[in-house]
Structure 1
């Protein structure tokens, strides 16, 4: 009887230790991914991105898209480094893959090149389209500061050699749904 109890206790301890290790590495990798994005370090962004994304959008094309999104004829966007205030969901194992949803603070400064005539309606657009929690406009610099909570989807599987890699959760989960099947989407409640 003692042997069974010791075995069960050992098994529970091992399970907790493995989950704790996964959470430790997840926290480290999430911070690395966040900092890569804020610094617009493309190599680091690509290193922390779930690799199947590049089957859909090749790295060079993604780099071009990021560049055009961050700087164009109408505006420029800078990501502002803040305390990410991570909130980690439960690590779920589905079909041999591990997933975790991670909420974090996301702040951007969007500077328009032409004077803004209707900053109030733009503020409303940012709040509704981006689920922004707070939007402020600085008329002197023609810049909006947009504050929101964003979600990273962490994945660790055979493809990543059990290392955590990330996808940004988009509003309709289109990218995630292109990579993972409906069973996984439902299990994660996406």
Structure 2
């Protein structure tokens, strides 16, 4: 009887994990597609809602739009690539569920004025964005940046236990505002 009980618990646990990882994969694809298509409303819909306690949703939307569309010095265009998601272990920490997702990402920055020192600019993006593949296109006066991005998937009471996402900021300030040191440490951030 004990053996049947343990098998049942193992089966239920496996089913719950499978459903959780499948829903995570679906949502991660939606988030990636929204970013690649620059669908700002969908991006915000899939964003971890506690971020909006730091910055109101409409303000964040304007900042994102200005970053991509409203800058007189350059335009940024996301390039759709095969994301090749790499999902970490799903972890439950202090009543929240997390997964760190690494994926391929690419963007092109087209500059209004001619870049005088392309090597300096590509080196700057390599270091600031931690990107190994940064190339200058003289004809388009653009920089193509290919990198591995990191998203943090979060499901908790504030999301009705549905997966939502945050992009991991390189300096960790956003993570510090939203999550405890314990969470950051357990996620390796």
Both structures adopt the same fold (TM-score exceeding 0.5):
yes
The corresponding residue for 1:12 is 10
Contact 1:136 1:145 in 2 (8 A): yes
1:37 aligns with 2:14: no
Report deviation, 1:126: 0.6
Report deviation, 1:141: 0.7
Q: TM-score, normalised by structure 1?
A: 0.96
Measure the CA separation in 1 of the matches of 2:111 and 2:52. 31
Superimposed CA distance per residue, residues 96-136 of structure 1 (whole angstroms, 9 cap, x where no aligned partner): 11100000111000000001110011111110110112011
Residue 159 of structure 2 aligns to a residue whose secondary structure is coil
Measure the CA separation in 2 of the matches of 1:8 and 1:149. 40
Q: 1:85-164 counterparts in 2 under 5 A?
A: 85-164=84-163
Report deviation, 1:156: 0.6
Superimposed CA distance per residue, residues 58-105 of structure 1 (whole angstroms, 9 cap, x where no aligned partner): 111111111221131111000001101100000001011110000011
Superimposed CA distance per residue, residues 134-159 of structure 1 (whole angstroms, 9 cap, x where no aligned partner): 01111011011000000000001111
Measure the CA separation in 2 of the matches of 1:63 and 1:5. 54
Q: TM-score, normalised by structure 2?
A: 0.97
> Number of residues paired by the alignment?
188
Contact 1:133 1:149 in 2 (8 A): no
Residue 115 of structure 2 aligns to a residue whose secondary structure is coil
Alpha-carbon RMSD? 0.9
Structure 1: gaps (5+ residues): none
The corresponding residue for 1:172 is 171
The corresponding residue for 2:50 is 52
